[in-house]
A and B are shown apart, each in its own frame.
Chain A
Amino acid sequence: MQNTLLLTLLMPTLAVPIVYLLGKKSVKAAALLVALIAIADIALLLTTVPVVLDSAPAAEHKYVESYYWIPILGSSFTLFVDGVSLSIAIITLILILTATLFSMNYMHEKKGLAEYYALLTLLFIGLVGVFITSNLMLFYFCWELMLVPAYFIIGGWGYKEPYRAAFKFFIFTHAGAVFVLLGIGAIFMVTGDLDMFQAQTALMSAQPELVKWILLSLTAGFAVKMAIVPVHMWLPDAHSEAPAPMSALLSGVIISAGAYAILRVSLGTVFPAVAVMAIDFGNQFLHGLAVFGVMSAFFGTLIALVENDIKRIIAYSSIAHMGYVLFGLSLFPFQEIMSGTVLHPEVITGTVLHLVNHAVSKGLFFLSAGTIMKQLEIRDIREMGGLAGQMPITAISSMTAALSIAGIPPFACFISEFLIFVGAFQTINNDNFYLLPTALMLIATVLSLAYALRYVSHVFLGSGKLEKAKEAPFFMKLAMVVLMVLVIILGVWPTFFIQLISTVSFV
């Protein structure tokens, strides 16, 4: 089919008003429609897999569609997928699907659900669009399109003071976004083209000073969305106040978008020019990423160890895991890539795989925590205990998620963390700066097991009996089981995604 990707975006766009009107009549139908579109989108994206995996020697390993848009601003409506974007987009869609299914039971007694599902569909466009475009203008459109519906969903259907958290989320991420905008503007000014791949070569002939600033400005902006430590403040509030399906999307996909953007735009588009013109600065930049990554990992892990609020623990663990991802990205082996000795760096494959695995595991973690909160109506883990017997499926999925987050085999996150560490050890050979960060990351990993076990033992083990505890309703169970199965499959058979991701070369 020729318009696969256009259709992927067009379906949710057209569905927004339909979902709203349908939701006025029957909320269930609206939710099912959203789920159906997510499934259709997954199917559409899967049709591009053969193109990406094409084993012919001259294969480009990407699938591109381009439409007329704003030629005067160097922008065409370019949609594209390659291994990296395809795998993250598929996971995004799976999370949207499960979040929607989960909402059918989780949200059913709330008011204004027609608006909720319409906003969710709007969010859907932004979330998918951000991963499947190579035009920076369109990318920014989708990037900000994630913001507005997320703001209203957190604010409208969250907990105690939701609009406060939503406000914080909006202002922080918007402040980050304007720096991304400056970077994009500067790229346009230098190259006259906003295509990520065109700009990559065109930037090579720009002034080195300017390119450095572009790199810093873009990365700082993306890091806010990724919730890297000095700019993480919005995340714990937003994640814990949001309704559970939204937390799953926030933590699974929205912050991953920040990491994806650093990989794709900062490292993919701008970094080669920096590496050519100012190699020292390039090295320092990567070292800086590693430092911030370690800081985030430690900070997130330590706070998760002492936090008592069920959702804030998971929120801080998200910060920690974005630290891992940033650390993985900082190992970007640009010298090998530029010289052509390594085409598909394993460590980047591992990092992208970690985004995928983290998204699924964290989605599952938030959904199961949401289930507990809904059934018990308490959030402090010290008041819980012994839930394993009363809510077996929730308990199993929670434990799966917790163990995966802690990096225990055979669950998903183990493989990708392992790949990142392998990459780190390889890099230490050439650059002994990484010795200390890698050691610290290993310690953080051990600590992450501690908070995961603390969570599990407080909530599910022990003798406490809570009156209200009973197993979740059907759709919530379904959503959790889907993700749980996925966590295990990704843990024992990650080949599909590894194959997809490792087709991507970064030059």
Chain B
Amino acid sequence: MIEILDVSLPIISFVLFSLLTIPVVKAIRKAKTRKTLITLVWFATIFITVGITVANLATKYYEQASPQPFLNITLTSEPFTIFSSTFMIDAISIYMAIIFTVVGAIVFFYSMFYVDPSERLSERYYSVMLIITGCIIGAAFAGDLLTLFIFWEASAAGSSFLMLYKKTPESMHATLKYLVMIIIASAFIIYGLSIVYGITGTLNFWTVKNALMALEDKHLLVVAFIFIAVGYAIEAAVVPFHMWLPDAYTAAPASSSAFLSALIDQGSYYVLLRVLIYILTPPTVLGWTLMLAVLSALTMVVGNLLALTEKNVKRLIAYVCIADVGYNLVAITSVTPLGIMGNLYFFLIGGVTTALSFMTVGILNRMGFETLEDFSGVGRKAPLTSLALLLGAFSFAGIPPLAGFIAKYLVFTAAIEANLSWLAVVGVLASVIQAAYLVRLINYMFAKRLEEEAKIREPKKLLIPIFILVAAIIVLGIYPTIVLNLIEHVIQQLPFTP
């Protein structure tokens, strides 16, 4: 039986460890020898502990004779349940918790070497990163709209600290832009939620959903839906609301960009998926398919076109993140089991690939290469880093046998299945544009020959997490069954009949 403790343990442990990290890192800084090793052991302990709690939850969930589609777990008993936070465990939330923990650990590993722990204030950086990871997992476990809102806003707004770590004028500016957008978004969402609460008298996912299914007058619901959808769309950087993303991701240190793209970004798609498909179930409650299809086509095309004109490589990768939003939306729009499968696979692969690219670009930025011109001949100067970026780029472009291919394949097939063939065609054409600018990047890295081709020493420690991710995209590309088997449970408990 899953108790409230099992569910909250991963979140609690992240929060506790986050608080402990500040004194521990400070103490390690004073140590004489083996500082790196001790820091490493400390962070390894954190992630192993959390990993165990998540694994515990997963085994308990799958041990049940027939895994429930969802489990509602509340803090208080019956009459007050309405006011209490609810947690909901189903196959998706467990899957999300697993990938957030695993990818988070790898990104963290990178940050530990990228942001020097002996720097002043770096302990706060780590601490914020841990607490945000905890909050995202909380959002994945949330069982009512308010809990989801609180956990999600905590992680979205909290991540502004990660962007602000180096207090440069650009990062201040970008963070301000980000915060303004996030605050507008949360105001929208709160407004929409209050309407939903007014209509249904509850915020619990399943009660809300059932109440909405039976709803007759849908005028108010449309208003609520628009506010909620726009709010979450701003946070996911869907195209008309995407302007904050490139600034924020470019101004942030590379480790933060990697973290944001791998966790916050994927988290925001997850929230969008959860809210749209599980709560405002489309075909039966509101027909939002066409609207979302247009938005997703727009996002794919605009994101990729902006990337095509971009000179700064880090910003280019940020635009790839926007294009990824579009691909995810295609899958959400299709509302088919295949689409959900594509979404969930994309959450992992998109996160891993963008994180990988930001990590490599971070290394190259430190060597002084910023724009495409600077990247000329990097392939010879820093071969290993460039190889990793190359594989990341091919995975983005959807070239098999890299994992990005399977993700894109699932997404576009889902679009065809949902009778949205035009969207699939737009999608693949956008994908060709994507291949074009990524191959151009590769052209710069490998084709341009320079006079001096002295090799630069590449930071070995930073390359370890990068190559773990490279191995992941290759293995998951050749043999995706490992992850697809996990996703299969999700398909069996969808809230709608395909």
Chain A residues close to B by CB (< 8 Å)? 69-73, 140-141, 144-145, 147-148, 151-152, 155-156, 162-163, 167, 170-171, 174-175, 178-179, 181-182, 184-186, 188-189, 213
Q: Would you call A188 and B439 a contact (CB within 8 A)?
A: no
B127 CB–A CB distance under 8 Å: no
Q: Would you call B424 and A174 a contact (CB within 8 A)?
A: no
Q: How many Cβ-Cβ contacts under 8 Å join chain A to chain B? A: 82
Contacts of A174 in B (CB 8 A): 397, 399, 432, 435
Contacts of B431 in A (CB 8 A): 178
B488 CB–A CB distance under 8 Å: yes
Shortest distance from the beta carbon of B373 to any chain A beta carbon, whole Å? 15
Q: Would you call A69 and B399 a contact (CB within 8 A)?
A: no
Q: Would you call A185 and B439 a contact (CB within 8 A)?
A: no
Q: Would you call B425 and A182 a contact (CB within 8 A)?
A: yes
Q: Which residue of B lies closest to A155 (CB)?
A: B447
- Could you write out 7 A-B pairs with CB less than 8 Å apart? A70-B479, A170-B435, A178-B428, A178-B431, A178-B432, A181-B428, A186-B413
Centre residue among B400, B435, B436 by max chain A CB count within 10 A: B400
CA of A213 to CA of B419, assembled, Å: 13
| Interface members, chain B 291-330 (any A CB < 8 Å) | none
Q: Would you call B412 and A72 a contact (CB within 8 A)?
A: no
Contacts of A167 in B (CB 8 A): 439-440, 443
Q: Would you call A145 and B479 a contact (CB within 8 A)?
A: no
Q: Would you call B428 and A179 a contact (CB within 8 A)?
A: yes
Nearest 3 A-B pairs (CB), nearest first?
A: A185-B413, A163-B447, A178-B428
Q: Contacting B394 at CB < 8 Å: which of A70, A141, A148, A184?
A: A148
Shortest distance from the beta carbon of B340 to any chain A beta carbon, whole Å? 13
B485 CB–A CB distance under 8 Å: yes
| Interface members, chain B 456-498 (any A CB < 8 Å) | 479-481, 484-485, 487-488
Contacts of B412 in A (CB 8 A): 181-182, 185
Contacts of A69 in B (CB 8 A): 479, 481
Shortest distance from the beta carbon of B12 to any chain A beta carbon, whole Å? 35
Q: Contacting A72 at CB < 8 Å: which of B401, B417, B481?
A: B481
Q: Would you call A171 and B439 a contact (CB within 8 A)?
A: yes
B82 CB–A CB distance under 8 Å: no
Shortest distance from the beta carbon of A176 to any chain B beta carbon, whole Å? 10
Q: Would you call A186 and B416 a contact (CB within 8 A)?
A: yes
Q: Would you call B485 and A72 a contact (CB within 8 A)?
A: yes
CA of A181 to CA of B425, assembled, Å: 10
Contacts of B446 in A (CB 8 A): 152, 155-156, 163
Centre residue among A73, A141, A185 by max chain B CB count within 10 A: A185
Render B389-426 as a binary contact track against A, CB cut-off 8 A, 1 for contact: 00000100111110001101110110011000100110
Q: Would you call B432 and A171 a contact (CB within 8 A)?
A: yes
Q: Would you call B435 and A171 a contact (CB within 8 A)?
A: yes
Centre residue among A71, A73, A140, A213 by max chain B CB count within 10 A: A73
CA of A431 to CA of B479, assembled, Å: 48
Q: Contacting A145 at CB < 8 Å: which of B400, B440, B481, B485?
A: B400
Q: Contacting A144 at CB < 8 Å: which of B400, B447, B479?
A: B400
Q: Contacting A189 at CB < 8 Å: which of B416, B440, B447?
A: B416
Contacts of A152 in B (CB 8 A): 446
Shortest distance from the beta carbon of B448 to any chain A beta carbon, whole Å? 8
Contacts of A185 in B (CB 8 A): 409, 412-413, 416, 424
CA of A171 to CA of B409, assembled, Å: 18
Contacts of B425 in A (CB 8 A): 182
Chain B residues close to A by CB (< 8 Å)? 338, 341, 394, 397-401, 405-406, 408-410, 412-413, 416-417, 421, 424-425, 428-429, 431-432, 435-436, 439-440, 443, 446-447, 479-481, 484-485, 487-488
CA of A179 to CA of B427, assembled, Å: 11
Contacts of A188 in B (CB 8 A): 413
Shortest distance from the beta carbon of A14 to any chain B beta carbon, whole Å? 14
Shortest distance from the beta carbon of B33 to any chain A beta carbon, whole Å? 37
A-B contacts besides A73-B410, A174-B397, 10 pairs, CB < 8 Å: A70-B479, A72-B484, A141-B401, A144-B405, A155-B443, A163-B443, A167-B440, A171-B432, A184-B409, A189-B417
Q: Would you call A182 and B480 a contact (CB within 8 A)?
A: no
CA of A163 to CA of B410, assembled, Å: 32
CA of A188 to CA of B337, assembled, Å: 14
Contacts of A179 in B (CB 8 A): 428
Centre residue among B409, B429, B484 by max chain A CB count within 10 A: B409
Q: Contacting B484 at CB < 8 Å: which of A70, A140, A178, A186?
A: A70
CA of A213 to CA of B408, assembled, Å: 20
Q: Would you call B394 and A72 a contact (CB within 8 A)?
A: no
Shortest distance from the beta carbon of B124 to any chain A beta carbon, whole Å? 43
Contacts of A71 in B (CB 8 A): 481
Shortest distance from the beta carbon of A195 to any chain B beta carbon, whole Å? 16
Q: Which residue of B lies closest to A72 (CB)?
A: B484
CA of A179 to CA of B406, assembled, Å: 15
Contacts of B443 in A (CB 8 A): 155, 163, 167
Contacts of A181 in B (CB 8 A): 408-409, 412, 428
Shortest distance from the beta carbon of B286 to any chain A beta carbon, whole Å? 25
Contacts of B488 in A (CB 8 A): 72
CA of A171 to CA of B397, assembled, Å: 11
CA of A140 to CA of B405, assembled, Å: 10
Contacts of B447 in A (CB 8 A): 155, 162-163
Q: Contacting B401 at CB < 8 Å: which of A73, A145, A151?
A: A145
Q: Would you call B432 and A73 a contact (CB within 8 A)?
A: no
Q: Which residue of B lies closest to A163 (CB)?
A: B447
Contacts of B428 in A (CB 8 A): 178-179, 181-182
Q: Would you call A144 and B413 a contact (CB within 8 A)?
A: no
Shortest distance from the beta carbon of B392 to any chain A beta carbon, whole Å? 14
CA of A189 to CA of B417, assembled, Å: 6
Shortest distance from the beta carbon of B494 to any chain A beta carbon, whole Å? 15
Contacts of A147 in B (CB 8 A): 399
CA of A156 to CA of B390, assembled, Å: 15
CA of A86 to CA of B336, assembled, Å: 39
